[in-house]
Chains A and B, each alone.
Chain A
Amino acid sequence: MELVIGGAYQGKWEYAKKKFPQIDWVNGESCTLEELLQAGGVNGFHNFVGRQIDQGTDVQNLAELIFEKNPDLIIVSDEVGYGVVPADARDRAFREAVGRVCCKLAKKAKRVYRIVCGNAVVIKDTVTKDA
């Protein structure tokens, strides 16, 4: 598993497509859980989490499910917790859920890339020894 994270419009997906040109992508805005668990990569993972929340689906075990069923998934997600705490309870639950799930994913991921202005900063790398 590898994670590509960062703010909106930072070039995360462009980076991910170049980095992993061979895989099949699904979109977090529209894919089903089954599709997510069979995909090579997911773009907009935060949107998938948001949809689960809006459907009333608990995401507490989502990270574990992904490790078990699709451990090589490439996950592209917005970092959504960097603004003022929203007034709306749904928005608060959404950003918190994305954070909690991504913390678990990052712990298991072999690499985490953080994209800022289209530039990738490798913030975790368990593969390249001298990184």
Chain B
Amino acid sequence: MLTVITGGSGSGKSAYAEDLILSYGPAERIYIATMYPFDEESHRRIERHRNMRKGKGFETLECYTGLDKVQVPAGSHILLECMSNLVANEMFQEDGAGERTVEAVMRGIETLLKQAARLCVVTNEIFSDCQPYEEETRRYQQYLGEINCRMVRMAEAATEVVYGIALPLKSNTL
């Protein structure tokens, strides 16, 4: 079962997603971390997220590229964060999927869904401003936008978080 959580930067989507996974009850909880620690700021961000997760029973798996190779325990509850980082890694890292990013990521999502009981993916709204971006950045928006659309099409539920307030985008269970 797939749930997609989206929102802007600093919207409280991570805290919401963690609470959601905990609300599913006891299970092996796996946190798939996709942020590559390339500088001091990313280390600080990773540290902040680690502190938020502390005591919530997550085992952390790092995955910067190649999501389809990740193995998780059968029946586990997975929190993947954040899709925007994974897509950037696939596009711009040497061992990434490059132009085949959308297919590679979607294959990874399908592979995880076969193993896990629940998969919750945190993604990011990066589509609403009017900067004259370079072509590369526009392609990044295009790939992430397409992945978000495809994930939500497959998902049982999707929620946008606005300053900690959950706005349902899609729900198959209600």
Seen from chain A, the residues whose Cβ lies within 8 Å of a Cβ on chain B are: 3, 5, 7, 79-85, 89, 92, 95-100, 102-103, 105-107, 112, 114, 123-124
Partner of A103, one of B127, B133, B137, B163: B163
Top 5 A-B pairs ranked by shortest CB distance?
A: A99-B10, A83-B129, A81-B8, A81-B9, A106-B163
What are the residues of chain A within 8 A of B131 when measuring CB–CB? 83-84
Given A95-B10, A99-B8: A124 touches B165 (CB 8 Å cut-off):
yes
Which residues of chain B have C-beta atoms less than 8 A from A83's C-beta?
A: 126-129, 131
Tell me if B140 is interfacial: C-beta within 8 Å of chain A.
Answer: yes
Taking a contact as CB atoms under 8 Å apart, the answer to whether A81 and B11 are in contact is: yes
Contacting pair A85 B9 (CB below 8 A): yes
Query: Which residue of chain B has the shortest Cβ distance to A105 in the bound complex?
Result: B163
* Distance between Cα atoms of A79 and B133 in the complex (Å): 20
Q: Is the CB of B165 within 8 A of A82?
A: no
CB within 8 Å of A: which residues of B? 7-12, 15, 41, 84, 125-129, 131, 133, 137, 140-141, 162-165, 167
Contact (Cβ within 8 A) A84 B41: no
Interface pair B137/A84, CB less than 8 Å apart? yes
> Bound complex: CA of A24 vs CA of B7, how far in Å?
32
Find chain A residues with CB under 8 A from B129 CB: 82-84
Could you list 30 examples of A-B contacts with CB < 8 Å?
A5-B163, A79-B8, A79-B163, A80-B8, A81-B7, A81-B8, A81-B125, A82-B8, A82-B126, A83-B131, A84-B126, A84-B137, A84-B140, A85-B126, A89-B41, A95-B9, A95-B10, A99-B8, A99-B10, A99-B163, A102-B10, A103-B10, A103-B164, A105-B163, A106-B163, A106-B164, A107-B164, A112-B165, A123-B162, A123-B167
